[in-house]
Structure formats: C-alpha cells, structure tokens
Chain A
Amino acid sequence: MMTYQDTTTPAGGDGPILRCEGITKAFGGVNAVNGATFDVPRNKITALIGPNGAGKTTVVNLLSGAMKIDSGKVQLGTTDITNMERYKIARLGLMRTFQLSRELGGLTVLENLLVAPKVQAGESLFNIFFRPRLLKREERQNLERAVEILRTYGLFDLRDNLARELSGGQKKLLEISRGVMASPSLFLLDEPMAGVNPALIDKIGGYILDMKAQGVTVLMIEHNLNVVERICDNVVVLAEGRTLATGTMSELRENKEVVTAYLGEIINAGPSH
C-alpha cells in the first residue's frame, strides 16, 4: 500500500494547514495579488479559481517562497513562513507544481523521483565516502518507493527515458508524481489538468483523490468547474488579486455576485490554455 505521508509532519497543529492573511504582490504598477485572504483546511481538496490574470499563479509563487511577498502573512501549520527561503518552506512539507511543467530534463524519469526526497544522507560528501552502507540502504528504500509511484502514475515503462523526451501530458504526470515522492503535507497544484486529454483528466482527478485519502492536503488551481465540482471540497474564488468568496461549490452557485461576475465568465471562457 502506498503511503504518501512522511512519518514526521512538520506542518503540524490542528486548525487549517495554511492561513493566508492579506498577502499582496505588485509587479511595477500591476497589483497582481492585492490582499488575498483565505484558509486551506487540513486534509481537504481546495480549489483556487478565478479568471485569467486573477493572480492565482502568483499566489502559489508567494506561498511557496518563489517570490517575495510585499505585505501580509502566511502561516503553514503553526509556522510563520512569510518570505522564508523557498527550500526551507519545501522542507516543512509544502510542495508545488508549475503551470508550465518544469521537468529536470537531463535526468531520467526515475531520477526525477529519486532526487525528490527532501533530505538524503547520500547528499553529504562525508556519507558518500565513509558511510556507503547507509547510502545503499537509503537509496534502496527510495528506489522501491519511486518504482511504486511510477507504476501508479503509469510512468514505469518510461523510467529510463530522459525527462525532456516526455510528452506534455507525461510531463504533467511526472511533475505530480515527483511532488508525491517528496511526501508533502500540503501540495499546491497549478492547473494539473490543463492541456491534457479527457481520459487523463479523470485519471489525474483520481490521483488527487488518492492523495487526500493518504492524508495530503491539496490546493489546486483549476479552470474546469466540472472537475472542481467533482473532486474539491472547498473553493476559493480569486479576482483581481482579492479573495471574492470562499465556500463549497454549491454555496458559491447560490452567490449571485460570484455567478454573474465570475463563475459565468469562467464557464464561458472554458478551460484555459
């Protein structure tokens, strides 16, 4: 049975796994994120929706430390992670994927997964030369887990291919499975289903539900409201960098403002990219 969760979960505590309070980010004159405030409840799948350019990707960049936050506060579990160095945020259990997949092209599919565990004994020069058995054991465990994940994600047969040789859909799968390999407690997915065929959309939906079953909290950006309806427990609507509404999908459908102003627009615009 596959376990996604590390035995130690740094993003501990009770309340919401992530609290995001009034974060802002401006690019020159553009206020890309302008006071977004929302919670991500633990062990749920939360959707982050909103029109193109609403600031969704920027929010993910701010939460994961890829960009500096201008003002506001982000808390992961009980830890304040506002403007913490990104690798430290990752080590606390927050993983993310990129809207345009970013594979490690010169590594094989298998290596893309093997590199993911956050802290490895085999990354220390001392251990490489003086503790070869520890390395071997660790590498074996990682290999077993990576193989299991690759099987689940249907990438097993591609394991020895260089990641840059994969198709777009395969790269999406690789990126998600790489994040899973890193045992996240909170996984931010930036449009995991954009640009993939309908059959794969269902599959990816299944994987995300699977992660939840294994105790991973998911925050996913998604334009396809059918998908949101089916797999997400909660929805955060972002517009012009602000949180417009939060709630379940059916609650939002009853919110006239949201429907007329934004949901309609999203439905009309259809899935992006």
Chain B
Amino acid sequence: MAQFWFYVFTLVFFLFDYFILAMGLNIQYGETGILNFAYIGFVAIGAYVTGAVSLPNSVGTAQQYIFGFNLPFPFSLLAGGVAAMLLAVVVAAITLRRLRTDYLAMVLISLSLVLYDVINNYVRLFNGADGLYNVPQPMAGVLHLTSNAFVVFFACVTGVISLIMWAGMSRITRSPLGRTFRAIRDDPDVASALGKGVFRYQLTSMLIGSFYAGIGGGLIIQFGGSFNPTAWLPGETFVVFAVIIVGGVGNNVGLLMGALLVETLLIHLPAFLPDIPGHAGLIEYIDAMVIGIMLMVMLWFRPQGIIPERVRHFALPAGELLNRDGHSVEAPPETMNNAASTLSASETHEGDRA
C-alpha cells in the first residue's frame, strides 16, 4: 500500500515539476518566440547547482564538485534558479542580438551539446558522468520523515511552489510586458518600429524562463537526491516542447494539461509498468514513439493545443459604451457586466470562437 502511494506521489511530483518547466519554456517560446532548444541545459544547471550548494564540502567525499555549502532548502533551490539565469545572460549575450529564430535554434542546440560534454567530462565541476548523489532531502531530518513520507511531503511542497510560480507567471503574461513579448513573437520588426528594444525584452523573457527552468531542475535533484547526465540528454528539451505543444502554447492551464498527459501519463507512468516478458526496455521505446506520434497529430489537427492561447478581452471604461452621440453601443454581454470595473481582462478561448 505504501508503495502505491509512493508511485502516485512520484507522479504528482513530476506533474507539478513539469508544469513549472513548461511555464518557463512557454514564456520564452510561446510568448516571446524564442526557440530555446537548449532549455534542458538550463534545467540541468539548476539541478546541479542546487545539489552542489546543498551538499557538504566535497573534500573527503567520494564525489568531486564545486560549491559544497551545506545550504538549506529553499536557499539551495533559489541558488539553482539564479544560476540558470546567469547562464541565460551568457547565452543571450552570445546569441540573441545577432540571430533570428531558426539560426538561433541551431546555435542553441549546439550550445546545449557543448554544455553537456563539458559537464560530462570535466569531472571536477559536477562529478562528471556519475553526477551528484546523496543530496540531502530537504527537511526530511527535521520532520523525521520516512523515505515514503518524504515523497508525499515533497510532492506537496512542489505543488505549492508551482502554484505560486503560476500566480507570478499569470501576472506577467497578463501585463503590458506580456503583451510586448507577444508583439515581439508576432513580428520583432514591427515591435522595434514601435520603439520596443527587442533585445532587452527577449533577455528579460530568457531570464524569467531560465529561472523557472532552474527551479524545476533544482526540485528534481532535491526530490530524487541525485542527478547525472543521463537525466538531461539534449533530446529532453523536446519533451518539454511536447508538453507545451500538446497542452497549448501560450496558455498556463493548458501547460498543466500537457504536463499531465505527456510527462505524467506517457513518460513516468509506463516506467512503473512491468517489462513485457522477453522485451526488456521495449515500453520505453513505445513511449517515445507515442509521444512523437502524438506531437505530429497535435501539430496537424490542433496546432493551438488542447487548451489554446486565450484571446484577451478588455472590459471597457463605463463611459466608453456610449458613442459620440450618446447612443449606447451594442456591446457583448460580458463587456456590459464588467463595464464598471475597468480592466478586469476577461478571456475567452480562441478555439471556442473558431
């Protein structure tokens, strides 16, 4: 029985964690149009740095790593988020100013391969191919949690963190800043002709998204206690892309749906299934195929995702419902209702109207 709940809450953890990861990629790609094919690299840096700062000094241990500050949770996690943002500054400085979408994507994918090789081979950084392990479980000692209880506890912590980050992200995407991001996504030339410093906004978007990537990565190592290069093969970026494409680019609720479908049901649930006799590991391959097929089907039949981006409607100021001659202008009912409260932007789904 305890085993069952262990599985369930592991799934719950990955659901919320990938929700966070999806929000980070979505602000970059879905809102700002930056095709960040190096995304998993930012997740990895978040994980490694979170792990390395929460471990004790590496001298005298079997592992080699930098930092080793014994930093407690959640400071260790924040360090991971900030580290991913620092990586974003470097990457943006190299790439964003000069390159347009497809070239940018190619350079980013190369950068993630370079990062992968460096971390895999430069053992003194994060213990090379073995990766970091024995990372202390946050608060497990203080709360006297068994390892099963820790899984439940930390899945809930991650849930709360993801909700807070969701609230923050909604605030950003609804703001004029989010609107400017989407203008840049739709046509960077028009945006700069309107006086928007495109690079600055793309950098801001990269920083926000990288922070989410770093936190999502940090939570993974805090949850499992270990992280090594097999956890972030460069192809993993496309799992996060699958999450946002299936769920709905540009829609935060859609992202949660995408995380549920792709990450939880398709990737992690089958990992708990027994092997098909005589075909060890086959399920994993079927899994990858199913995700690929699902991605193609979605792009073909419903490119806007399960829950599409919302069309922002604005409630107009009360006086604005009258035209110049003082006649009332026909307004959709929902606008009428909100007329008094300016700017409670109501949103409907694009798909509902199509």
Footprint of B on A, CB under 8 Å? 64, 66, 85-88, 90-91, 95-96, 98, 102-108, 110-111, 114-116, 118-125, 128-129, 135-136, 138-140, 143-144, 147, 151, 156, 159-160, 162, 178, 182
Least CB distance, B214 to chain A, in whole angstroms:
17
Interface bits B317-347 vs A (CB < 8 Å: 1, else 0):
1001001100001001000000000110000
A128 adjacent to B175 (CB under 8 Å):
yes
Residues of B within 8 A of A140 (CB): 317, 342-343
- The residues of A that contact B201 with a CB separation of less than 8 Å are 123
With A66-B189, A87-B197, A160-B313 already in contact, the answer to whether A107 and B175 are too (CB < 8 A) is: no
A71 CA / B206 CA spacing, docked (Å): 36
**Contacts A106-B186, A143-B342: A114 and B176 contacting too (C-beta < 8 A)?**
yes
A107 touches B196 (CB 8 A): no
Whole-angstrom distance between the alpha carbons of A226 and B186 in the complex? 36
CA distance A91 to B191 in the complex (A): 12
Does chain A have a CB within 8 A of B179? yes
Within 8 A of A (CB), among B174-219: 175-177, 179-180, 182-183, 185-187, 189-198, 201, 204, 208
Looking at the complex, which one of A115, A144, A160 makes contact with B180 (CB distance below 8 Å)? A115
Q: How far is the CA of A120 from the CA of B191 in the complex (A)?
A: 13
Contact B195 A119 (CB under 8 A): yes
If A104-B186, A143-B343, A162-B311 touch, whether A111 touches B179 (CB-CB below 8 Å) is yes
Given A95-B193, A128-B171, A182-B195, the answer on whether A120 and B176 have CB atoms closer than 8 Å is yes
Asked whether, in the complex, the Cβ of B193 is within 8 Å of the Cβ of A90, the reply is yes
Interchain nearest-CB distance for A271 vs B (Å):
25
Number of interface residues, chain B, beta carbon within 8 A: 42
Contacting pair B177 A124 (CB below 8 A): yes
Q: Could you tell me if B194 and A107 are in contact, using CB atoms closer than 8 angstroms?
A: no
Is residue B100 within 8 Å, beta carbon to beta carbon, of the partner chain?
Answer: no
Q: Which residues of B contact A87 (CB under 8 A)?
A: 192-198
Complex: A178 Cα to B193 Cα, angstroms = 11
* B350 close to chain A: CB less than 8 A: yes
Contacts of B177 in A (CB 8 A): 122-125, 128
A265 to B10 CA separation, bound complex (whole angstroms)? 76
A sample of 26 inter-chain contacts (CB < 8 A) reads: A66-B189, A66-B193, A87-B193, A90-B192, A90-B194, A95-B194, A102-B190, A106-B185, A107-B182, A108-B312, A111-B179, A114-B176, A115-B179, A122-B175, A122-B177, A123-B177, A128-B171, A135-B176, A136-B342, A138-B176, A143-B343, A144-B320, A147-B316, A147-B317, A151-B324, A182-B195
Q: Across the interface, do A106 and B196 meet the contact criterion of CB distance under 8 Å?
A: no
- Whether B187 contacts A102 by the Cβ 8 Å rule is yes
User: Does B172 interact with chain A (Cβ within 8 Å)?
Assistant: yes
A115 touches B189 (CB 8 A): no
- Tell me which residues across on chain B come within 8 A of A159, comparing CB atoms: 314
B343 touches A86 (CB 8 A): no
Instruction: Say whether, besides A111-B179, A128-B171, A147-B320, A90 and B313 are in contact (CB < 8 Å).
Output: no
Partner of A122, one of B176, B323, B324: B176
A119 surroundings in chain B (CB, below 8 A): 195
Query: Known contacts A120-B176, A125-B177, A136-B343: does B312 contact A182 (CB below 8 Å)?
Result: no
Does chain A have a CB within 8 A of B309?
Answer: yes
Q: Complex formed: what's the CA distance from A182 to B196 in Å?
A: 11
Docked CA distance A90–B197 (Å): 10
Q: Is the CB of B193 within 8 A of A86?
A: yes
In the bound assembly, the distance between CA atoms of A91 and B195 in angstroms comes to 5
Map CB proximity to A onto B126-163 as digits: 1 under 8 Å, 0 otherwise: 00000000000000000000000000000000000000
The 5 residue pairs across chains A and B that have the minimum distance between CB atoms: A122-B176, A90-B195, A118-B195, A104-B186, A91-B195
CA distance A86 to B188 in the complex (A): 11
- The chain A residue sitting closest to B250, CB to CB, is A106
CB of A128 within 8 A of CB of B343, answer no
Given contacts A107-B186, A160-B311, 7 further A-B contacts (CB under 8 A): A88-B197, A105-B186, A105-B187, A115-B183, A125-B177, A125-B204, A129-B168
Contact indicator A162/B343 (Cβ below 8 Å): no
Contact of B192 with A111 in the complex, beta carbons under 8 Å: no
User: Residues of B contacting A115 with CB < 8 Å?
Assistant: 176, 179-180, 183, 191, 194
Complex interface: chain B residues within 8 A of A107 (CB) = 179, 182-183, 186
Q: Contacts A111-B179, A139-B343, A151-B323 given: A125-B172 contact, CB under 8 Å?
A: yes
Q: How far is the CA of A129 from the CA of B165 in the complex (A)?
A: 13
* B residues near A106, Cβ cutoff 8 Å: 182, 185-186, 250, 309
Is the CB–CB distance between B183 and A143 below 8 Å?
no
User: How far apart sit A204 and B329, CA to CA, in the bound complex (Å)?
Assistant: 24
How many whole Å from B177's CB to the nearest CB in chain A?
Answer: 5
User: Restricting to B242-260, which residues have a CB under 8 Å from any CB of A?
Assistant: 250
What residues on A are CB-neighbors of B309 within 8 Å? 106
A136 to B174, CA, bound (A): 12
Within 8 Å by CB of A118, from B179, B182, B194, lies: B194
